[in-house]
């Protein structure tokens, strides 16, 4: 009998400090940076975001999301035999955020590693966990997306600092006789490194190069919709399903206009799209599991429904996962 993987619990965590656009406009104004609620809402759909306190790390938020997901799945930390954390803002250069999170959780001993695919990170991590479960290498995986993008934002660059927020989301993925994950599709094209990057690195005890986020927003925008459409059609074809079989699209929450463009291409009305970008901003690898958990806990998505998760981000990386909840 074929072995599948299935999501059995979801969880999330948002740091308590919430900044509305008005709060951010005020803070940026004190630095002489001009922006407005109208501009941010019209161009991005974002109305608020959460920022972590200075001493809160990726693993701190990830472990809260993980505990919530474990509770929803009715499992203890020691039941877990694989931990993957998707992040581009880990606690330290090494060890991985996954190892630190594992110790905080008390799931010591199982394999734990980070996946770095920026905003596609959760899609990559979920696909790796699914493959390991299908192969028999794992039985109960914890897949976490956690980001503190506020640490790598240039608050003197209004074209990027208004877009991002902090947070974490997690799922428990368990072996099952029935799907679960129906299909997935991952891609990367490294020729687009420069349009979205944090070019700095640590060397000889110093940070070399600029350690803050750089983005060519229009170039990203142009690539994103086409790539997301291709990934969506690829997972549907692999699973032998049609666009009309999708109950919910849960895209990476970067910009409402990218989400609207993707939905249009897939002939999905916006009331089949889970939208949290308005309240969370772009939380990179955390955005999809945060949106999924929100949709599960509010009853928006229901067990048995078909969900299309997809993301695009720095690298360039992109991908999709089609699953039955």
Nearest-approach distance from CB 323 to ligand ACO, in angstroms: 21
**Can you tell me which of 314, 317, 320, 323 binds ligand ACO, judged by CB under 6 A?**
314
For 266-292, give one letter per residue: b (16+ CB within 10 A) or e: bebeeeebbbbbebbbbbbbbbbbbbb
Residue 196 touching ligand ACO (CB under 6 A)? yes
Please indicate whether residue 58 is annotated as part of the active site. no
Please indicate whether residue 21 is annotated as part of the active site. no
> Before 316, cis peptide (omega within 30)?
yes
Please indicate whether residue 282 is annotated as part of the active site. yes
Residue 162 touching ligand ACO (CB under 6 A)? yes
x-or-dash pattern for ligand ACO, window 36-65, by CB under 6 A?
A: ---x---xx---------------------
* CB-side neighbour CA atoms (13 Å) of 82: 23
Contact between 49 and 19 under an 8 Å Cβ cutoff? The reply is yes
For residue 233, give both structure tokens: 């059609």
| Stretch touching ligand ACO by CB under 6 A, among 94-102, 138-146, 202-210, 310-318 | 310-318
Nearest-angstrom CA–CA distance, 30 and 25: 9
For ligand ACO, which is the closer residue by CB, 38 or 245? 38
Phi and psi (nearest 5°) for 83? -130, 125
E strand segments, the chain: 4-13, 18-20, 48-50, 82-86, 112-115, 140-148, 166-176, 181-188, 196-197, 201-203, 206-208, 214-215, 248-251, 306-313, 317-324
Nearest-approach distance from CB 244 to ligand ACO, in angstroms: 27
x-or-dash pattern for ligand ACO, window 202-241, by CB under 6 A?
A: -------------x-xx-xx--------------------
Could you tell me whether strands 196-197 and 214-215 are parallel, antiparallel, or unpaired per DSSP bridges? Answer: antiparallel
Nearest-angstrom CA–CA distance, 164 and 284: 8
Nearest-approach distance from CB 164 to ligand ACO, in angstroms: 8
Residue 35 touching ligand ACO (CB under 6 A)? yes
* Cβ within 8 Å of residue 202, ≥6 positions away: 93, 208
- Scan residues 240-299 and list those touching ligand ACO (CB under 6 A): 254-255, 258, 282, 284
For ligand ACO, which is the closer residue by CB, 183 or 255? 255
Nearest-angstrom CA–CA distance, 88 and 148: 9
Nearest-approach distance from CB 133 to ligand ACO, in angstroms: 27
**Given 21, 68, 255, 282, which residue is catalytic?**
282
Contact between 84 and 5 under an 8 Å Cβ cutoff? The reply is no
Nearest-approach distance from CB 22 to ligand ACO, in angstroms: 13
* Number of other CB atoms surrounding residue 111 within 10 Å: 15
**Can you tell me which of 103, 134, 159, 306 binds ligand ACO, judged by CB under 6 A?**
159
For ligand ACO, which is the closer residue by CB, 89 or 284? 284
Q: Which residues bind ligand ACO (CB under 6 A)?
A: 35, 39, 43-44, 118-119, 158-159, 162, 196, 215, 217-218, 220-221, 254-255, 258, 282, 284, 312-314
């Amino acid at each position: 009998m074929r072995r599948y993987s299935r999501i059995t619990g979801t969880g999330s965590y948002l740091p308590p400090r919430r900044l509305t656009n008005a709060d951010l406009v005020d803070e940026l104004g004190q630095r002489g940076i001009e922006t407005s609620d109208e501009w941010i809402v019209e161009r991005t759909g974002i109305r608020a975001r959460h920022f972590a306190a200075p001493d809160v790390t990726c693993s701190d938020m990830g472990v809260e999301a993980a505990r919530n997901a474990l509770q929803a799945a009715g499992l203890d930390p020691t039941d877990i035999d694989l931990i993957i954390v998707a992040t581009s803002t880990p606690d330290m250069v090494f060890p991985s955020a996954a190892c630190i999170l594992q110790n905080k959780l008390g799931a010591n001993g199982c394999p734990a590693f980070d996946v770095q695919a920026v905003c596609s990170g959760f899609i990559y991590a979920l696909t790796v966990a699914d493959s390991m479960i299908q192969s028999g290498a794992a039985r109960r995986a914890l897949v976490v997306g956690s980001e503190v993008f506020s640490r790598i934002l240039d608050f003197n660059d209004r074209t990027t600092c208004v877009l991002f927020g902090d947070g974490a989301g997690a799922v428990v993925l368990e072996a099952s006789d029935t799907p679960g994950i129906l299909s997935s599709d991952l891609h990367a094209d490294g020729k687009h490194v420069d349009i979205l990057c944090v070019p700095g690195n640590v060397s000889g005890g110093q940070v070399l190069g600029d350690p803050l986020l750089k983005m060519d927003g229009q170039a990203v925008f142009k690539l994103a919709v086409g790539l997301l459409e291709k990934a969506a059609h690829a997972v549907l074809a692999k699973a032998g399903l049609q666009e009309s079989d999708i109950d919910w699209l849960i895209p990476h929450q970067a910009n409402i206009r990218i989400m609207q463009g993707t939905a249009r291409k897939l002939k999905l009305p916006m009331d089949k799209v889970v939208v949290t970008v308005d309240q969370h901003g772009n939380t990179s690898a955390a955005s999809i599991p945060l949106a999924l958990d929100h949709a599960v806990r509010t009853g928006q998505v229901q067990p048995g429904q078909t969900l299309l998760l997809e993301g695009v981000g720095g690298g360039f990386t992109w991908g999709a996962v089609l699953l039955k909840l």
